[in-house]
Structure 1
């Protein structure tokens, strides 16, 4: 088998594994917390920015379009989990921030999420997890560098 085929097989196994874990998480969030993974992702991003994020910043953090975030933000706001704040000096900009209820709800979901991941990956030792994470980060960094190089060359 060629090196390229080995790497392709690795990619396919990584993809299958990630999709399987993601599907399990989606189902657990839906069943146990009556929420979705995109909603969880929005709340996670906002939890890391206690002063809030502009919609464009949130879209950038999540790497999705503003349109994708707007509907989720609307529903979270309607449920009292997120508040919208005007940006002084910019009438068009809105900052989203978790409310106290949103922080409490996210903490509950985040703990469950951590427990699920810990259970799903329990066959991986902490040392293996750190080594795998470091290797995947190296791949991500190399990919990012290659992408930047190609962009600058154009």
Structure 2
């Protein structure tokens, strides 16, 4: 698979444990009453997930997309090792291509290449900023397990 994009593409899901934890914490913070109300209304577990929980999760996929894209876009080692020189991504091309005849970096070209390297990440973050911040700031919060003045139905 050396010389193809497959190792680099397969390298992307390596961030999956972090993203699984992100999703798990978000779903752990969902109120149990939503699920109970949906079941009382006649919705099954699958319908509750698809109709109630999934539409509320837009911040988490947005945050996971930004995290995964930034990680893949900024990857330097895997493409440098696995792809030939003419098929490398922008990050490797900036560092390998902008050198003079003596092998020293050409600083003005490196600065221009760095700007073109940062602009896509900045644009994606600006577009997805609201969802990214909402997904990462509310992920670790949990609802209290019980209400202090709830009446017993016994």
TM-score (normalised: structure 1): 0.30
| Higher alpha-carbon Rg | 2
TM-score (normalised: structure 2): 0.30
